[in-house]
Structure 1
């Protein structure tokens, strides 16, 4: 049962002031407009025709529902038209959008192998995360946040609003909105095909698209198909990623996982027997000598060093393979001058996969017990965790290389259909639109190369030599039928291969997400003021979202995050909610044609949302546009923003996670007994691996009652179009976003850092260490975490030079400066450490360089065209000298900062239009200088020793395309 909140506790008095003011203004406008609409209907002749002509000129720009003649409004919008999209030569829309300077943080893309592999690309405006960026298609919510699922050949342009827009679009539009505008007219047939390959002849891509359309007097239809095939690239194919590199004591070291094929045996539970074994061997950690077969003895092991670690990198991918098929159908039919029907529909099927190294086994982390009474145990002490009592003993890590790599195969099906009716109220200025939005996303995955936990646990438990010379599971007189003992101390011995293979399982997971929405909108003019016409946009909507996930029982975690398959688990999920919404927005011209005031316009809007899960919320905005002279626009917006929890955040069960952390208890000598429970105080402790077991879950499983995150968005800026230099335009916008009660899955690093700083922190209960101090797992529930503050400045400039005999040149530059990105994970804790992300990379939040920019220079002359794109990623750093941050670039030293220099990527393209063949040929080179990504090291990242969300991974890439039109 979900508790409803009719009065949100988040509405501070200041919030009420803005909301009441906006609602009062809108109410006046609505009352005034009641008679005005009738008067417009009754008007005839020239007045009606003039109004109709004016309506034809009006358009809506993302960020407002009001039709405007002005393209430049209070909304800071970046537009990418179809020509700009095609000139980039990008294989997917995700590749294109993620280059924008306003994108930062941890957005997913096909280079995300470990933790990705679905082929998806998401958008994280301001680095606020994909869940705080609303993706629209023709103003309608996209069912699946993967923008690669949108067929590129149906897109006319992309509008990116980098401002909070909850008052206009509802939940999720905190960082901004990305709106993909569809083509509405196309006549003929167009076929396009391209091929690309890297300088090293890998990462090949093949794309094909077919678009056909016809426009008649009263109708239009456009249909298309496209197919994309992108090859995998192994991490072994690049020098920067072929080895697992750690930064240790200031030097890069090839040091992989302690889960090695020869095993890592650690006598560290503090017992007398373990101490004696460490003394006998001359070290506390040993590994098997090469070439040993069969049962082992203590003399078959040598002291473990970093050179014995396992290099898992060659088995990972820099680019995950994917095959994608898209289809779309767009159409409209005009019944008469006042009513038109339309339908926008598209479908995509994506087949993709990720591949990672063979399964590692951690006796304590995976919660199994290699028994001291096992026939194959040469040391006579327990290793791992007794699941019955929870008692932890010595560490034993190994890796099942004989079973080959783990593979995650995904099939994703995305269908979205949006039929509707639109028209006008007679000859008035008022237009209306009603539509249905149905979206369904199904994803099926098969996970190869895992083990049945129960069978494995039995096989490494007590065993004995029977009287017939057969080694059996169990104890004498109490043998376990159907079980064959496993020699975990020599697990890759060929004699045990068939036994391991009998335990292999390939569990599957299936999920379905649906959205059903009914929406009705209307907009038009209310009445005239001396400065202009007051306009209104208003609407209602009802939306229902539901999610369900089914998984093999062996692949499903229990309440402790433990599962029947060693290492990772999936979650079961089933839940739904509905939301009813109403909004109104009005444009009020205040002054016009006065000295120092060419125009002064006020826009106010408000939206009421009522969720079946978290209650109601009202969010408003106020915008002001002032033109002191024709060439200059000054603008500002204050918006209330919010985000309601989605179905995954609410209902997800426990699922396994491999989190990358830097344990603050490394080198521990005392003083933090809660965060470092059971850790030796002699300074000898070191976290064995950069990755630990995390247990993520939704809020209900964790016992939390989520509420919406709320806040304010501020934007103030200017646009200047000097009449004395035709073709030049530039803008500057400063922005700030403040959020509270942020909905977030708590990262394992945050849990460790916050508990280390305050032993009374609520985060301490989420840490689970073994009896020897090593991390068993860290719980990562979804909660309302704390506060977030982000601020920065955007700038843009475009100059279209006059055409000369040398052709036409157009230059543009877009950039972002990140001034602030701070997070307070726990505002209830006075000692909570505020995390400063601006200018820094962290595993938990991603990369936030202070400066990012994208510059383009386009040229055309006759049938020839060319473009040069320059992408700038500013300086960043790993680690923080402030020890309270718990961030260090070094694996072995606290508070180490490592500077990362700025990066510049150059992409060039040239095209030629063969008019007689109705064909355009294009050639392009991305990353012209073959720049390799910077090293971030495996102790700071999960994939490829670098930040795969920010930098180019493949190096120089060549592509060519041919487009034929009929």
Structure 2
């Protein structure tokens, strides 16, 4: 065992000393001089549109018909060989298959349509240093919104990651797998809205990801307001591929290993594919990073405060000398440490995942096929955000005659190590589809019948919650009341020393919450040519769907029976709804250079004993005056049915961990000027309406040669009847304005009714904030606009190999939000007190293929964002990733990937610890991975 450990350490040392410096020497100079850019990715090799530089007019490609099911489900394959010669020069392909591209259900011979679609392949994900599917999607320039997730040490979604296209919120992006809906994450984002988790989809099974960043409800129904992300999985392979990867972070923590196995084949009338990924990742603790390895302002270890005078009773801290690594001192009468938050905070969650996928297609005859696939995952995540603590009720101390409040924060030494305090998430998810596709007899019309069911279950265990007996241990039995305060005669000696392990185990327990969600859909789709026009056939696609969604959150029963100390009773949340949909879409070649599209869809949702109906439509126009130029535009309406959580949530109590109390600060309330805890209560509202949206896209695509292309698009989105909970920061700002100005209008009356405080004449803590109420309402409106630019270039350097590059840019031109008709309009783009989203984002890559080597440099440049204090903006930030791959033999290859080549961490000290902008950037620094791949068969 010792020898094996030594060998592992020596191997890791050799890798760091030889391979890591090589990567840094080769790739870092490129990073330092690279120009930042966005992300345009050409179509996958087996889904090729017309040859580069030939943006074909409608009806001009003699396209063969293809059986294509729901949008993006299966792409028809190109016949013959790849349409590039060995020199990389494009040659005309006279027999292109029509394919289905996200944003339409009608097969077409062009990947570019009336709305922009970005495509990224599985191979490009690996080359650009993306650790997983979320990394690849989050790097897209359209993803300008800040989100919470597993990589940001937050309290909401430590086991999940979400997208925020256009900064419109995770619940306004529809995520599909193989063109089909999947179950929402069972716990709501930010405690409010339902969303789709993309943290547990293994990259080994990804064929490509298509991103439509505009409204598409007329095609896909509810949720597609900001855009659609269609994750298309592989369905074919020859042989078996094995990849083994290991890596770490240079600054410490985050060691990880990954095994991927995928393969498949074709046997007579059957095509099969499978993929499996096993991942293990260590956490990164705040104490692993120098910028936050201490909390200078200190955290209370033990304090006893006289509430009438505000003074602390100084007991001395001799009893706590052995906890928090000996970092305990006693300024101002209380024992404090600078080692609390950094020891109890994971900035990267600990993970252990086992995810897999299998698919099969049976070709029953020349036109008919049956298919089935299943995606499954078993994931275990641990995170830590703060250690356990005890705060007594305000009480009359019979021993001192004072009204007091006692506080204790428990150390890792008392509870058996900081890992003992981890929250644990055991999650199981699966999505399965079965279907049948064929042509109608004696026609060229395709149809498909399919059933998809998706389930997600999450079991969260929160360690350690204090049991109710802890109060009796510290304060003793209650001896009555004095002036409205409970009377205790506590033994102070118990409070001035650490707990023993036996005492801790006696007075602590585990809270267990179970959450489940489900989505199922029965669908019928069809497509074909209706009739012929002089410029080509009129295409049509139709869809009929019936579906059901549900979610349930079951809190621990012991929350309501008094077993735990200082907890609020909580009841089961959840509900379900049915949905019905009919839709149709036409593609009309008006002339040989003009193609028009029109789509419409009816959706009905039934929930809470009532129904909501919406009709949405989409129009698009494509003009190709010459083969190398496309001028395009689209207009669409969209809607979003109310979040299930907004409809069915029971009274839920929670808190915001870092929020300033503006009015309390002005009134001198202790701690109100700091980023402190604010408690809230939220419950469902069954009479909510659907949201409605409109979106516009106008742009051009220009490909002057086979080796270069450009596109520029303007977009605009408007949302009305927006479902929202009151933003707590904005609510407390408005409360301050209303109270200090004396405004008694309806808006201020509504604001003040949502904030509960101690009376101004209270003996203890006058004006102290107690609770805010943040129920959902259909009151808000939001509008945003911007520009997207992208370019792609390819060239040969002769004996020096081939190069390819891409540059892209997204700029938010405007972003406004209005909470209600009589509320002020908030400028989310420029007001740094209201938003932490980016105003611009640039991506770029440079790839060099030389003999058996392939290297890629990828950069993401983020525009300025608001600092944590809301007092200004942080400067732009760029992150460089690099990868090098060597093909050792035709079957074997090795690769080295380095993320954050320059080993920089974005800092923000405007509001103190943790000194970096959580939610916008990570504090990992340089990370690297070494992998080896081998192909069998």
Deviation digits for residues 605-641 of structure 1 (CA, Å, limit 9, x no counterpart): 1111111125111111111111222221111111111
Pick from 99, 113, 119: which aligns with 2:139? Answer: 99
Deviations 1:130-185 (A, max 9, x none): 11111111100122422122232111111111111111111111111111112122
Distance between the aligned counterparts of 1:740 and 1:79, measured in 2?
30
- TM-score by length of structure 2 reads 0.80
1:756 aligns with 2:756: no
Distance 1:697 1:667 in 2: 25
Work out whether 1:255 is the aligned partner of 2:297: yes
How has the CA–CA distance of structure 1 residues 541 and 490 changed in structure 2, closer, same or farther, with 3 Å as cutoff? same
CA distance in 2, matches of 1:68, 1:95: 30
Paired position in structure 2 for 1:948: 918
Matches of 1:636 and 1:705 in 2, distance apart? 36
Report Cα offsets for 1:23-62 as digits up to 9, x if no partner: xxxxxxxxxxxxxx9xxxxxxxxxxxxxxx9997111110
Q: Could you tell me which residue of structure 1 aligns to residue 11 of structure 2?
A: none
Q: Is the 8 A contact 2:701 2:709 kept in 1?
A: yes
Length, aligned pairs only: 799
User: What does residue 469 of structure 1 align with?
Assistant: none
CA, structure 1 residues 878+202, in 2 after alignment: closer, same or farther (shift >3 Å)?
Answer: closer
Q: Say if 1:137 and 1:181, in contact at 8 Å, map to a contact too.
A: yes
CA distance in 1, matches of 2:563, 2:627: 67
Shift of the 235–99 alpha-carbon distance from structure 1 to 2, 3 Å rule, reads: same
Q: Show the counterpart of 1:687.
A: 672
Greater mean deviation of Cα atoms: 832-841 or 324-333? 832-841
Following TM superposition, by how much is the alpha carbon of 1:577 offset from its aligned partner in structure 2, in angstroms? 0.6
Stretch of structure 1 that moved more, 398-407 or 349-358? 398-407
1:792 to 786, 793, 801: 786
Residues 569/81 of structure 1: CA separation in 2 closer, same or farther (3 Å cut): farther
Q: Deviations over 1:531-554 (max 9, x none)?
A: 221111111101111112222223
1:310 Cα deviation after fit? 7.4
Higher relative contact order (CA 8 A, sep 6+): 2
Q: What is the rounded CA distance, in whole Å, between the counterparts of 1:116 and 1:198 in structure 2?
A: 25
Return closer, same or farther for 1:159/1:474 CA change in 2, 3 Å cut-off. Answer: same
- 1:231 aligns with 282
Select 1:740's aligned residue among 701, 711, 720: 720
Of 837, 845, 848, the match for 2:828 = 837
Tell me which of 886, 903, 916 is aligned to 2:877.
903
The CA distance in 1 between the partners of 2:500 and 2:397, in whole Å, is 19
Matching of residues 643-722 of structure 1 within 5 Å: 643-653=640-650, 654-668=652-666, 680=667, 686-687=671-672, 689-700=674-685, 705-722=687-704
**Counterparts of 2:95 and 2:451 in 1: how far apart (Å)?**
25
State the alpha-carbon separation in 1 of the partners of residues 796 and 292 from structure 2.
Answer: 47
Report how far residue 802 of structure 1 moved: 3.7
CA contact (8 A) 1:459 1:484 kept: no
Provide Cα deviations, 1:768-802, integer angstroms capped at 9, x if missing partner: 22342222222222332411111111111001114
1:241 — aligned with what?
292
Cα distance change on mapping 1:581 and 1:373 into 2, 3 Å: same
Partner of 1:329: 358
Q: Do the aligned partners of residues 571 and 954 (structure 1) sit closer, same or farther apart at CA in structure 2, a change above 3 Å counting?
A: farther
Question: What SS class does the counterpart of residue 635 from structure 1 fall into?
Answer: strand
Distance 2:906 2:403 in 1: 46
**How do 1:472-551 and structure 2 match up within 5 A?**
472-474=477-479, 487=491, 491=495, 493-494=497-498, 501-551=505-555
**What whole-Å deviation, never above 9, does each CA across 1:910-940 have from its counterpart, x for those lacking one?**
1111225x1111112111110112215556x
Cα 1:729–1:55 shift into 2, 3 Å: closer
Shift of 1:327: 1.3
Match status 1:818 vs 2:808:
no
* Cα distance in 2 between the residues matched to 1:353 and 1:71: 42
- After TM superposition, give the deviation of residue 738 of structure 1 in Å: 0.9
Who is 1:641 aligned against? 638
Name 2:574's counterpart in structure 1.
574
1:587 Cα deviation after fit: 1.0
Tell me the CA shift for residue 716 of structure 1. Answer: 1.1
Match of 2:892 among 911, 919, 941: 919
Kindly state the Cα deviation for residue 957 of structure 1 after the two structures are TM-superposed. 1.1
Instruction: Give me the whole-angstrom Cα distance separating, in 1, the residues matched to 2:480 and 2:125.
Output: 69
TM-aligned CA deviation for residue 507 of structure 1? 1.3
Preserved CA contact (<8 Å) 1:110 1:119? yes
Aligned to 2:588: 588
Secondary structure of residue in 2 paired with 1:61: coil
Q: Distance in 2 between matches of 1:545 and 1:904?
A: 40
Equivalent positions of 1:868-879 (< 5 A) are 868-878=857-867
Indicate if the aligned counterparts of 2:432 and 2:452 stay in contact, CA closer than 8 A. yes
Contact persistence 1:74–1:637 (CA under 8 A): yes
Unmatched 5+ residue regions in structure 2?
A: 1-64, 66-92, 185-195, 321-328, 482-486
Counterpart of 2:53 in structure 1 is none
CA offset digits 1:452-487 (Å, max 9, x no partner): 34x4455666x5xxxxxxxx55469xxxxxx99865
Contact 2:249/2:927, CA 8 A, preserved across alignment: yes
Greater mean deviation of Cα atoms: 867-876 or 311-320 = 311-320
Report if the CA contact (8 A) 2:152-2:922 is conserved. no
Distance of 1:204 and 1:733 partners within structure 2: 41
SS class of match (1:338): coil
CA separation in 2, counterparts of 1:571 and 1:475? Answer: 31
Q: Hey, what does 2:844 align to over in structure 1?
A: 855
| CA distance in 2 between partners of 1:494 and 1:243 (Å) | 21
In the superposition, relative to structure 1, how do residues 618 and 565 fare at CA in structure 2: closer, same or farther (>3 Å)? farther
Aligned in 2, Cα 1:954/1:492: closer, same or farther, shift over 3 Å?
Answer: farther
Match of residue 131 from structure 1: 171
Is residue 839–residue 848 contact of structure 1 (8 Å, CA) maintained in 2? no
The equivalent residue for 2:602 is 608
Counterpart check, 1:935 vs 2:905: no
Going from structure 1 to structure 2, the CA distance change for 1:76 and 1:571 (only over 3 Å counts) comes to farther
Please, which of 68, 74, 97 is the counterpart of residue 57 of structure 1? Answer: 97
Unpaired stretches in structure 1, ≥5 consecutive residues: 1-36, 38-52, 245-253, 268-273, 294-299, 364-368, 384-395, 464-471, 477-482, 593-598, 669-679, 880-887, 890-896
1:441 aligns with 2:456: yes
Please give the alpha-carbon distance, in whole angstroms, between the structure 1 residues aligned to 2:791 and 2:560. 53
Out of 439, 443, 458, the residue aligned to residue 424 of structure 1 is: 439
Deviation at 1:869, TM superposition (A): 0.4
String of CA shifts for 1:165-216, please: whole Å, max 9, x gaps: 1111111111111111121221101001111111124211111011120113
SS, match of residue 591 in structure 2: strand
**Deviates most, 104-113 or 330-339:** 104-113
CA deviation profile, 1:333-384 (whole Å, cap 9, x unmatched): 0111221001121100110011133223455xxxxx3421455xx352254x
What is the rounded CA distance, in whole Å, between the counterparts of 1:234 and 1:762 in structure 2? 42
CA distance in 2, matches of 1:99, 1:374: 60
- Selected match of 1:87 from 120, 127, 145: 127
Q: Secondary structure at the match of 2:165?
A: coil
1:380 to 392, 402, 420: 402
Give 3-state SS (helix, strand or coil) of 2:735's partner. Answer: helix
State the match for 2:930 in structure 1. 960
**Do the aligned residues in 2 keep the contact of 1:264 with 1:398 (CA within 8 Å)?**
no
Inter-CA distance 191–484: structure 2 relative to 1 (3 Å threshold): farther
SS of 2:125's equivalent in the other structure is helix
1:865/1:556 Cα in 2 relative to 1: closer, same or farther (>3 Å)?
A: farther
Q: Is the 8 A contact 1:659 1:693 kept in 2?
A: yes
- 1: CA distance between counterparts of 2:819 and 2:563? 29
Counterparts in 2 of 1:428 and 1:803: CA distance versus 1, 3 Å: farther
d(CA) in 1 for partners of 2:314 and 2:771? 24
- Counterpart in the other structure of 1:674: none
Quick one: distance in 2 between partners of 1:331 and 1:512? 28
